[in-house]
Amino acid sequence: MRFIIYGVGAIGGTFAASLASAGHDAVGIARGDMLAAIRANGGLTFRATTGSQLVNFPVVGAPDELEFRPDDVIFLTMKGQHTAPALDELRAAGVTTQAVVCAQNGVNNERLALRLFPNVYAMTVMLPADYVTPGEVICYGTPKRGLTDLGRYPHGLDDNVAAIATAFDSAGFAAFPLEQVMRSKYGKLRDNLGNVVEAALGHGSRSGPLLEAIQAEAEAVYAAAGIDWVAVGNADPRRKGLMEMGAVAGVTRTGGSSIQSLKRGAGTIETDYLNGEIVLLGRLHGVPTPLNAGLVTVGHELVAKGASPGSMTEAELRVRLGL
Ligand SMILES: NC(=O)C1=CN([C@@H]2O[C@H](COP(=O)(O)OP(=O)(O)OC[C@H]3O[C@@H](n4cnc5c(N)ncnc54)[C@H](OP(=O)(O)O)[C@@H]3O)[C@@H](O)[C@H]2O)C=CC1
Ligand SMILES: CC(C)(CO)C(=O)C(=O)O
C-alpha cells in the first residue's frame, strides 16, 4: 500500500511526515510556496511535541507527475474549495479504482469524489496542526498526533479501512473504523462552524453563546434533514489522555485552519463548505439559517479585504449577523 498525500499543508504535511517516518511509502503532492520550500530545504520541517525534524519523502507538483498503482491510497488533504479541480486532475492522471480518502472537514468532498471514483472513504480528522510558514508544519497533538474516524462512504467497512487504520496507528495516530462514519463528520462540521468566527475575532474566540447559536442552526437543519450526527469535539471522551493539545518548542498554536488561511493570505477560505453547508441544507429543508449565511458573507469579505486574523470585535460581528 502506497500513500499519496494530495495537498501538503497542515494535515497533509503531518500525515506525510508521520507515515514516512514510520517507514511507510508516502508521496506528497504540493504546490506553490510549500512545494518550493520543500524542494529548497530538502524535505519538510515537521515540528511536534516530540521534537523537530526535516523529513524527506518524495514530493511532486501535480498528479500527472506520478505513475499511479492499484494499491495506492490517495488522501485528499486540501481545503474543501480546492477539492473539485483536484479530483479532475486525479482522473486525468489515470486514477480509477484506487481508494480516495477525504481527510477534510465538511461533508461535500465525499460526494464530489464518489461522482468520479467508486472507492471513496470519509475520514474525520481531529488533529490540531498549523501551516503558516512555507516548508514547515507544526502538530500539537499528544500523545497521539491526531484522532481519526474512518469508514467507507457513504457507509461500511472493508479491508482498506482496516489497513489504513493499522498504518495510522503505527504512525502515531489513533484511527477508529466506523460503519457510519458520516455521523462523525457531521458532528465535526458542527464544530467547524466556529472556524470563521475565530478568523474574524481571533484565536480563542470559538466558544460561548454566539457559537452555541450558530451550532443550534446546524442542529435544526440536521433534524429537518434527518441527518444523524455524533459529537466529536473537545468533550469527546476519547480525547482524554489520547490526543490533547501539547507544547511544541518555540511556537504557539495559530488557531484553526480558517484563521491560518487568513494569516497566510491564501486568498480563499473554506467557509462555503462549512457554514455554507448548513445554509444549503437549510435552503433544501426550509429551515432559516441567518447566522451561518451571515458568516459565509463575512468570511468572503475578510478574504477579499486581505484582513488579518482577529480584525473584528465581537460587537461588530454581532451587528453584521443581525444580533
Ligand atoms: N489545520 C488543522 O488543524 C485542521 C484542518 N482540518 C481540515 O483539513 C483540511 C486541510 O486543512 P489544512 O491542512 O489546514 O489546509 P492547508 O491549507 O494547510 O493545506 C492544504 C494544502 O493543499 C494545497 N493544495 C490545494 N490544492 C492543491 C492542488 N490541487 N495541488 C497541490 N496542492 C494543493 C494548498 O495549497 P494553497 O495554500 O496554495 O491553497 C495547501 O498547501 C481542511 O478541510 C481543514 O478544514 C481538519 C482538522 C484540523
Ligand atoms: C477543530 C479545529 C479548529 C481543530 O484544529 C479544526 O478542525 C480546524 O482547524 O479546521
The CATH number of residue 118's host domain is 3.40.50.720
Is the pLDDT reported for residue 31 higher than 90? yes
C-alpha grid cell, residue 257: 485552519
Angstrom distance (rounded) from CA 106 to CA 280: 12
pLDDT per position as a tens digit, 47-95: 999 999 999 999 999 999 999 999 999 999 999 999 999 999 999 999 9
Residue 53: the pLDDT is 98
Residue 224 contacts residue 274 (beta carbons within 8 Å): no
DSSP 105: S
115 contacts: CB under 8 Å, gap ≥ 6:
none
Residue 235: the pLDDT is 86
Q: How far is the CA of 70 from the centre of ligand 2 (A)?
A: 32
pLDDT per position as a tens digit, 134-166: 999 999 999 999 999 999 999 999 999 999 999
Angstrom distance (rounded) from CA 148 to CA 126: 6
Task: Look at residues 217, 223, 204, 209 and name the one whose alpha carbon lies nearest to residue 295.
Answer: 217
DSSP 308: P
Mean local confidence (pLDDT), 187-195: 98
- ipTM higher than 0.85? yes
Is the pLDDT reported for residue 318 higher than 90? yes
pLDDT per position as a tens digit, 214-270: 999 999 999 999 999 999 988 899 999 999 999 999 999 999 999 999 999 999 999
Domain count, the chain: 1
Q: How far is the CA of 7 from the centre of ligand 1 (A)?
A: 6
What integer best gives the mean pLDDT of the chain? 98
Burial of 220 (0-12, 13-18, 19+ CB in 10 A): middle
Task: Give me the sheet containing 129-133, strands edge to edge.
Answer: 51-55, 44-48, 136-139, 129-133
Confidence of residue 189 (pLDDT cuts 50, 70, 90): very high
Give one DSSP letter per residue of 153-170, joined into a string. Answer: SSS---HHHHHHHHHHHH
Q: Is 38 in the pocket of ligand 1 (CB under 6 A)?
A: no
Ligand with the closest atom to the CA of 62: 1
Residue 247: the pLDDT is 98
First to last CA, the chain: 52
Confidence of residue 176 (pLDDT cuts 50, 70, 90): very high
Residue 210 contacts residue 197 (beta carbons within 8 Å): yes
pLDDT per position as a tens digit, 96-119: 999 999 999 999 999 999 999 999
Q: How far is the CA of 200 from the centre of ligand 1 (A)?
A: 19
Mean local confidence (pLDDT), 5-16: 99
Lowest mean pLDDT among 44-48, 75-79, 205-209, 287-291: 205-209
Angstrom distance (rounded) from CA 90 to CA 4: 11
Cell numbers 480546492: residue: 82
Count of Cβ atoms closer than 10 Å to residue 175 Cβ? 22
Angstrom distance (rounded) from CA 216 to CA 47: 36
Q: At residue 156, what is the residue type?
A: G
Is the pLDDT reported for residue 34 higher than 90? yes
Residue 84 contacts residue 76 (beta carbons within 8 Å): no
Task: Look at residues 118, 82, 94 and name the one whose alpha carbon lies nearest to residue 6.
Answer: 82
Mean local confidence (pLDDT), 29-33: 98
Confidence of residue 7 (pLDDT cuts 50, 70, 90): very high
Out of 15, 79, 90, 261, mutate this one to test ligand 1's pocket (max ligand atoms within 8 Å of CB): namely 79
40 contacts: CB under 8 Å, gap ≥ 6:
135
Residue 319 β-bridge partners:
none
C-alpha grid cell, residue 12: 497533509
Q: How far is the CA of 83 from the centre of ligand 2 (A)?
A: 18
Residue 59: the pLDDT is 98
| Nearest Cα residue to atom 7 of ligand 2 | 192
For the CA atoms of 82, 60, 37, 21, what is the dihedral angle to 10 degrees? 100
Residue 104: the pLDDT is 98
| Nearest Cα residue to atom 4 of ligand 1 | 257
Mean local confidence (pLDDT), 11-21: 99
Q: At residue 205, what is the residue type?
A: S
| Nearest Cα residue to atom 6 of ligand 2 | 256
Q: Which residue range is the domain that position 221 belongs to?
A: 2-320
Q: How far is the CA of 128 from the centre of ligand 2 (A)?
A: 6
The dihedrals phi and psi of 178, each to the nearest 5 degrees, come to -130, 130
Confidence of residue 292 (pLDDT cuts 50, 70, 90): very high
